[in-house]
Structure 1
């Protein structure tokens, strides 16, 4: 199927590439179908493009590359809902926010990760109620102006 997007133009998407988030992401509960897109030469980042809303795309990052001590524990409910059988089926990403001041001030939300069973093409955003992580964790450290790899 061909989908139209504001950021990427027209994309040819196979049904097998669509990840279903049911319910949708926080604030976008009615939008449940997305595709996960690689970013050339930046393997730790992805785009999550809505199938049904051309203007909606989220920049994602693998949180384990940004903060090595990051940990996600999935409840039995999430494991069952996403039909996870093996840990290797799970992808974890966090949503990146890039402010008007530019990427040097970009942050990621470590409290609301996206959990994706890539094999079953099912996803869910989970929210940690009591968590020491930040909803605005900087991607670039202030000291070195380098990506927070392993921070």
Structure 2
């Protein structure tokens, strides 16, 4: 099927690639169907595009690439909701925010990861209450700032 998006133009999307989020994403409960759009020449990130709103797309990343100690314990209710029978059925991603000043300030929402049952194409954004995680964890916390080329006294 042809899907018109604001960010990527018109895309050919196979219906088998659609993901269902019965409760939507946080702040978007009315949008329940999504699909992935790869980021050209960058396999670390992927866009999660809403099927029913061309303006809504979330930049996503595998949080374990940037935060190897990230520790997620899904509740029994979340596992049941997602119909997870085995951990290998789940993919976990986090929403990335790019601030106006550019990619160096990108953050990941570790408090509310997105969990997808890849076998059932079923997703849910879960809130890790009491985890100590926040909505804005810097992705490039160890990257030094570029040297200043000019400074006024």
Number of matched pairs: 145
Q: Which residue of 2 aligns with 1:126?
A: 126
CA distance in structure 1 between the aligned counterparts of 2:143 and 2:17, rounded to whole angstroms: 40
| TM-score between both structures, scaled by the size of structure 1 | 0.91
CA distance in 1, matches of 2:127, 2:72: 11
**Between 70-79 and 90-99, the greater mean CA deviation after superposition:** 70-79
SS in 2 for 1:53: coil
Name the structure 2 match of 1:138: 138
* RMSD of aligned residue pairs (Cα, Å): 1.3
In our comparison, the structure showing a higher alpha carbon Rg is: 2
Q: Deviations over 1:21-80 (max 9, x none)?
A: 110001000001000222233222110000000011100010111111101111121112
Question: SS at 2:46's partner residue?
Answer: strand
Structure 1 distance, partners of 2:40, 2:118, is 19
Matched residues in 2 for 1:15 and 1:73: separation? 31
Match of 1:148 in 2: none
TM-score by length of 2: 0.89
Q: Secondary structure at the match of 1:88?
A: helix
Q: Secondary structure at the match of 2:42?
A: coil
Which one scores higher on RCO, CA 8 angstroms, separation ≥ 6? Answer: 1
Q: What displacement does 1:140 show?
A: 0.9
Q: Distance in 2 between matches of 1:44 and 1:120?
A: 23
Structure-2 residue corresponding to 1:56: 56
What is the distance in 2 between the residues matched to 1:52 and 1:42? Answer: 26
Name the SS of the counterpart of 1:77 in structure 2. helix
Distance 1:96 1:116 in 2: 17
What runs of 5+ residues in structure 1 fail to find an aligned partner?
Answer: 146-151
Which runs of 4 or more aligned residues in structure 1 lie more than 6 Å from their structure 2 counterparts after TM superposition? Answer: none
Superposed CA offset, 1:76-126 (max 9, x none): 211121111221111101100101111111111100000001111000000
Unaligned runs of 5+ in 2: 146-153
